[in-house]
Amino acid sequence: MTTPVVSIAYHSGYGHTAVLAEAVRAGAAEAGAEVHLIDVAEITDEQWETLDRSDAIVFGSPTYMGTASGAFHVFAEASSKRWFGQNWKDKLAAGFTNSGSKSGDKLHTLQFFQILAGQHGMHWINLGLHPGWNSSEASEHDLNRLGVFAGAAAQTNVDEGPDAVHKADIATAEHLGRRVTETARTFSRGRAAA
């Protein structure tokens, strides 16, 4: 069985989303993936080729003004060259985002990632966790403390730096990395059996 190749295509404006990207990387690596972190604001031809050979691509961006960052949108538009060739068809996809507000319209960013993946013919992997911190006995330290199902969502105060990314949000991003890797392994076994 080959090792799943997971690439994390992300943009981080102030470092908060980079913390989450590293957490996704750590979770995927822990689950046995070959992992590549790709900053889409500085993407190279070689990194585009890495995305092409990946089993799964995890999209990540801060949520600015209710959507992914401008740098991520530039990357998404540039991926149309892959769309023409169907390069990413049947790959797995997932996503994560961070905003300053508890809601911050993060869901819209994750839906943007889902639509991007859908246009490429990719298969979306959700978070696969019940919501945390939604009862009197729950805690802000629970996984999925913000109760988002489409992907990993984080909230960091706008007046604090990357070191203030909530530990539960980091752990949730690590969970996403493991889930993507495990799903990629399952898909690979299914293809081999077919």
In sequence order, which residues have a C-beta less than 8 Å from that of residue 85 and are 6 or more positions away? none
Neighbours of 163 (CB within 10 A): 9
What is the pLDDT tens value at each position of the chain, 194 positions in all?
589 999 999 999 999 999 999 999 999 999 999 999 999 999 999 999 999 999 999 999 999 999 999 999 999 999 999 999 999 999 999 999 999 999 989 999 999 999 999 999 999 999 999 999 999 999 999 999 999 999 999 999 999 999 999 999 999 999 999 999 999 999 988 888 88
Closest CA to 109 of 148, 166, 159, 164: 148
Q: How far is CA 184 from CA 45, 76, 112, in A?
A: 24, 22, 22
pTM value surpassing 0.85: yes
How confident is the model at residue 191, as a pLDDT?
83
**Backbone dihedral angles phi then psi of residue 154, each to the nearest 5 degrees:** -135, 155
